[in-house]
Amino acid sequence: MPGLTIGDPLPNLEVETTHGPIKLHDYVADSFTIIFSHPGDFTPVCTTELGAMAAYADKFSKLGVKLLGLSADDVESHNAWIKDIEAYCNGCKVTYPIAADPHRKIIKELNMVDPDEKDSSGNQVPSRALHIIGPDKRVKLSFLYPASTGRNMDEVVRVVESLQRAAKHKIATPANWKAGDAVVISPGVSTEQAKEMFPQGYKTAHLPSNKPYLRFTNVD
Cβ-contact 57, 64 below 8 angstroms: no
46 is an active site residue:
yes
Report which secondary-structure segment, H or E, holds 52.
helix 44-62
Q: What is the DSSP string of 132-169?
A: EEPTTSBEEEEEEE-TT----HHHHHHHHHHHHHHHHS
Alpha carbons 56 and 191: distance in angstroms, whole number: 40
Alpha carbons 138 and 17: distance in angstroms, whole number: 21
Catalytic pick from 4, 35, 46, 194?
A: 46
Catalytic residues: 46
